[in-house]
Structure 1
Amino acid sequence: MSVSASNAASFNALFAPSTIAVVGASATSVSGGNRFIRHLKAFGYAGRIFPIHPSAAEIEGMPAFTSVSAAPEAIDYAYVAVSAPQVPPLLRSFSGKVRVAQVMSSGFSESSGGHELEHELVRAAREANVRVIGPNCLGVYSPRARVTFTERTTDEAGSVGIVCQSGGLGVDIIRRGQNKGVRFSGLVTVGNCADVRPYELLEYFLASSETSVIGLYLEGAGDGRKLFEILRAAKARKPVVILKGGRTGQGRRAAASHTGALAGSDNGWKALSAQTGAVLVDELDTFLDALLAFQSLPPRVAAAKRAVLFGNGGGASVLGTDALARAGFDVAPFEAGVAAKLQTLKLPAGSSVLNPIDLPAGALQQDEGRAAEAIFDTIAEAGETDVLVMHVNMTVVLSFRHVDMLGNLMNAILRVKSRDRSGMHVVLVLRSDGDPDIEGPKREYRRRAVAAGLPVFDELTSAAEALACVRHFETFRARAAKNT
């Protein structure tokens, strides 16, 4: 199933607009339209911006136009921030001039008495031949095109595409995601989904060469069958992670009041995941961690099963083993030949190389990380490991101030990864106590690691849950390949 030519053109205009009209900016105060213009300018948007106002000559330092039809160019993307009753006639005035409009305005099906007005919005959009995102949504984040609806966003583009039914949660996904190292090809908030539906944007991201991982935050279930058909037809071509709101009775009531959505049954979403390979998660942090893992770890042909845990801290290693086992991984002792090779490395007293591998912090630095690299090489060369989880107690490691212990360890991991041909997944867990003196260096090490393709997690449980998401996808693909 592929995206239609008309939808492709509309959504290309949404994520890479050459011209943007802003309807609802003020010449005398700061409205949502004004803030959007300021965000565009601060983010470095290079296209043309046309403020629309019935009487103002200038808005935000740019010439204003009395209507969209008065603008000197066709409009790729119109940002609409006017009162709800004004929206349908405004959309009709876009006929032949606007490709896609995003309606920020609320007061439609999410509120009492707004359903008929939303139906009128859809009729107006059809008459004007313009696709509408929303209403009741915040906008689009497209770092390649330098388009954003919020502040404090990175212009570093990536491969993760997001469809989000909540504007506020969309902001959280961008900001928390980028702090974890997730980099986006694009994110769109869709609100009430009166016209453009999430499944259409899913089709677009599945077809996009700039997107390799897709995340969906959904509240409604009206498109459940269509989503299922698209995901089934895609045959797990790309990882799709779904965070579904309203999976409990009380959550369904909250979804109805938020976006007017009918949330559907939890069992239906679990069945969709089992039958399509899409990954269903329960929490925002798990959603972001799964996206990070998929961004950094190319799926294996055979699903990952055998795991090795390596780090400093015996108690943490025990808890990490439990977390990996609960996630479906086998943290088994090494085969005799591998164990014998590890024993020949003459590691210091207090070291354990049984799996989990537990080394004193000083041993991690031995010979500028070469001792650790020898362990990594031995594990990789044996070909018995699908997942290697390296965990580090940041407080202890950073106390060795005369040497860049963690930097040396990361370099050792990356050297081994460059030589490995087995497709072993390697992840890093940076444990800390939250001390501000630790968090600063931790952010920098995270940045360096993720830039090199090494996903970083804050807790061993988080790493295990993210790896379980990857394993679910790999298992489905392997089973599907076997049955073809």
Structure 2
Amino acid sequence: MGLESFFEPKSVAVIGASREQGKLGHEILNNIIKAGFAGKIYPINPKADEILGLKCYPSIKDVPEEVEMAVIIVPARFVPSVIADCGKRGVRAAVVISGGFRETGAAGEELERQMLEAAKQAKIRIVGPNCQGVNSTAVGLCASWPLVKSKGTISAISQSGTIFAALECWAEDEGIGIRKFVALGNKCDVDEIELMEYLAEDEETKVIALYIEGTRNGRKFIETLRSAVKSKPVLVLKGGRTGKGIQAAMSHTRSLVGKDSIFDVALRKAGAIRVYEIEELYDACKAFATLPLPKGDRVVIVTSSGGSGILATDACEELGLNVIELSDELREKLKSEMPPECILRNPLDLTGSANSQTYDDALTILCDDGGIDSIIVIVGDPMPGIADVIARHFSAGKTIVPVMLGGGHAEKEEREKMQKLHIPVYQSPTRAVRALAALTRYSKIRGG
């Protein structure tokens, strides 16, 4: 059975819907409504006649029509029987938010076994339990929390609800948007392997982000990664790299966590891109969603801050990017256009006296040079008009990665202008370089 019913259902029942604001049964129902879900929505609560303006039913068995997907938010001990009832109403997909299963010990493990057996009998697929839900912006389905509805091209699979939510919220705040997000929880049925296969075939997904703590079938996981990478980048953040981290992962979702060094080698051979922090995962997602792949590793850094240029250079060297020497011809072209105080090296230091016109002149020359693949543009001072300058050069064929360090009003205005144009802006040179290194590595994988 496919996974479409989790992402494109015609109808959704929220079992455990609540009238009480702040409870998950209220917030998830409210988010499905506010995200603009166009299908039918059925709140299920035996103690309510109506919730949020929708007719409420005592049980899913009382709904007069078939229901395609159910979101279940009831105590764990009731979930197996609820799943059985869902089968009688034609439910194909169930998202079990409820905790209290395998992650809690032997009694919870038995409940999870009973739930899975009921699902198999009813031919229902399960995401969860102990998860934060799913979000599919294409159909306005935010069966999760918080409310995120901006459409984009980033899809994510996460064993952590908080990491899931952080990625969603950052993408929403910066106007990048998301495509399909799944919080796996205990992954008793649907897992990261099946979801990767599904998302690799999704034409609107440009990049897949993955947070995992362990996998049940390492060989199949790597084979699926290798196949998915042929069509789009897959970014992997793994929890449980250290001895105590492994113990924490086992208690979080009862994951089987293998030796990290073996996992790391396997990831690299499969062509996946490994990251080590949540911010790094998001930064790389943002780059893949908005920037063209560089043709090579040749980088020029343009900056008004000497210190920031040095930090960017260090990061490039550490991550295998080539901070090229400027050719004599290129230096002469720059010399003819740049103010005399500019330092005509790489990094190209425009100094603190630079304005947006100085950047425009520099980028015009650099974008015309065939020996440059990527340009990191660091703006270290308030710079009215810089968003328009970067936007003008953004589609010139180079991979342009903007960095804005300041937090003042002028910087905020320029940053927001770029975000509205889907131009990514990074908050530090190192974060920008890491994102560019991920792009460059994937470009090399695709090309070679």
Structure 2 partner of 1:285: 279
Structure 1 partner of 2:365: 378
User: 2:293·2:443 contact (CA, 8 Å) conserved in 1?
Assistant: yes
- Match of 2:359, as an amino acid? A
Secondary structure (helix, strand or coil) at the match of 2:92 reads: strand
Structure 2 partner of 1:351: 342
Alpha-carbon distance between aligned partners in 2 of 1:162 and 1:189, rounded to the nearest angstrom: 8
Displacement of 1:478: 2.2
Alpha-carbon distance between aligned partners in 2 of 1:284 and 1:26, rounded to the nearest angstrom: 32
Structure 2 partner of 1:328: 320
Per the alignment, do residues 464 and 61 of structure 1 end up closer, same or farther by CA in structure 2, a change over 3 Å counting?
same
Q: Does 1:299 align with 2:293?
A: yes
- Match of 2:85, as an amino acid? S
Q: Deviations over 1:72-128 (max 9, x none)?
A: 222122010111121112111222510101111111111111222212211111100
Q: Which residue among 16, 25, 36 is the counterpart of 1:33? A: 25
Aligned residue-pair number: 446
- Match of 2:445, as an amino acid? F
Alpha-carbon distance between aligned partners in 2 of 1:461 and 1:197, rounded to the nearest angstrom: 33
Displacement of 1:376: 1.4
Mapping for residues 122-133 of structure 1, pairs under 5 Å: 122-133=116-127
Structure 1 partner of 2:161: 167
Alpha-carbon distance between aligned partners in 1 of 2:441 and 2:42, rounded to the nearest angstrom: 47
Alpha-carbon distance between aligned partners in 2 of 1:31 and 1:412, rounded to the nearest angstrom: 47
Per the alignment, do residues 37 and 443 of structure 1 end up closer, same or farther by CA in structure 2, a change over 3 Å counting?
farther
Q: Which residue among 409, 415, 418 is the counterpart of 2:392? A: 415
Secondary structure (helix, strand or coil) at the match of 1:144 reads: helix
Give RMSD over aligned pairs. 2.0
Alpha-carbon distance between aligned partners in 2 of 1:225 and 1:359, rounded to the nearest angstrom: 51
Alpha-carbon distance between aligned partners in 2 of 1:121 and 1:249, rounded to the nearest angstrom: 32
Alpha-carbon distance between aligned partners in 1 of 2:210 and 2:278, rounded to the nearest angstrom: 11
Structure 2 partner of 1:221: 215
Alpha-carbon distance between aligned partners in 2 of 1:149 and 1:445, rounded to the nearest angstrom: 34
- Match of 2:432, as an amino acid? A
Alpha-carbon distance between aligned partners in 1 of 2:398 and 2:273, rounded to the nearest angstrom: 21
Secondary structure (helix, strand or coil) at the match of 1:363 reads: coil
Structure 2 partner of 1:431: 405
Q: Deviations over 1:363-420 (max 9, x none)?
A: 333xxx2x43232122122211111000011xx32xxxxxxx443x3323332333x3
Q: Does 1:212 align with 2:206?
A: yes
TM-score by length of 2: 0.94
Per the alignment, do residues 58 and 180 of structure 1 end up closer, same or farther by CA in structure 2, a change over 3 Å counting?
closer
Displacement of 1:270: 1.1
Secondary structure (helix, strand or coil) at the match of 1:456 reads: coil
Structure 2 partner of 1:118: 112
Q: Does 1:64 align with 2:33?
A: no
TM-score by length of 1: 0.87
Q: Does 1:104 align with 2:81?
A: no
Alpha-carbon distance between aligned partners in 2 of 1:65 and 1:214, rounded to the nearest angstrom: 37
Mapping for residues 379-418 of structure 1, pairs under 5 Å: 379-393=366-380, 396-397=381-382, 405-407=383-385, 409-418=386-395
Mapping for residues 243-262 of structure 1, pairs under 5 Å: 243-262=237-256
User: 1:277·1:477 contact (CA, 8 Å) conserved in 2?
Assistant: no
User: 1:310·1:388 contact (CA, 8 Å) conserved in 2?
Assistant: yes
Per the alignment, do residues 48 and 170 of structure 1 end up closer, same or farther by CA in structure 2, a change over 3 Å counting?
same
Structure 2 partner of 1:364: 355
Displacement of 1:443: 4.3
Q: Does 1:341 align with 2:310?
A: no
Structure 2 partner of 1:401: none
Per the alignment, do residues 28 and 330 of structure 1 end up closer, same or farther by CA in structure 2, a change over 3 Å counting?
closer
Unaligned 5+ segments in structure 1 are: 1-5, 398-404, 480-484
Secondary structure (helix, strand or coil) at the match of 1:390 reads: strand
Displacement of 1:16: 2.6
Alpha-carbon distance between aligned partners in 2 of 1:287 and 1:83, rounded to the nearest angstrom: 33
Q: Which residue among 459, 468, 472 is the counterpart of 2:441? A: 472
Alpha-carbon distance between aligned partners in 2 of 1:75 and 1:20, rounded to the nearest angstrom: 6
Mapping for residues 124-163 of structure 1, pairs under 5 Å: 124-149=118-143, 153-163=147-157
